[in-house]
Amino acid sequence: MADAFIDGVEWQTSPAPVPYEEALATMEDRAAAIGAGEAPELVWLLEHPPLYTAGTSADPIELLTPDRFPVYRTGRGGRYTYHGPGQRIGYVLIDLERRGRDIRCFVSALERWLIASLDALGVEARQEPGRIGIWTGHGSSEAKIAAIGVRVRRWVTFHGFSINVDPDLSHFGGIVPCGISDYGVTSLKRLGISAGMEQADAALKANFASFLEQISGSGRLQCKR
């Protein structure tokens, strides 16, 4: 059920954890409909039951406990990641055919959107050259707080991002998250921030227009900076 539309993009929020197979099938169908001009673009906010996903660059040696949770092969970029309750997942289905065929710009704008949203929640977040995801802290406290993995088919994006609001961080111990073993993972709760899902969703919605501006028309110039 649609929550709202922001600049022509539909937003949906699922109140209960969605099985991964169901989410993947829904994304596949919606991406095809968007590409055919039969459905609006979509941001889908949800949670999953505990599971691991393997991106196209996943190395089996980085799956440390293969029997801990279900493992799903997926066509998104990246390596292994964890999804589970307490983590806000955003599947972002955008028509780049209409907005401009620039995948690099899309990913850069996605990173900036997450950074701005986390900043609104009180987190100093950033990109780090050579690393995937969104990071916070310095020195021994440096850790990843959000992950990104996207796929593009016929210029329609799907998959998207995850933000650690209050997941069980011990569940990340079954993998080498995104192939990076030198740093840990963190969450809003571990950082002492009391914001929950509703506040995280509100921050994402408040910063969405800037994301769209960056990937559309002349706004793509911002991605080149």
Does the annotation mark 105 as catalytic? no
Catalytic residue among 63, 118, 134, 178: 178
CB distance 170 to 176 below 8 Å: no
Please state, in angstroms and rounded to a whole number, the distance separating the CA atoms of residues 135 and 103: 22
Tokens 């691991």 belong to residue: 52
Any bridge partners for residue 81, and if so which? 53
| b/e per residue 57-94 (b: at least 16 CB within 10 A) | ebeeebbeeeebbebeebebbbbbbbbbebbbbbbbbb
- Per 3-state DSSP, the chain is made up of helix, strand and coil in percentages (nearest 5) of 35, 30, 35
Report, as residue numbers or ranges, the catalytic residues.
Answer: 178
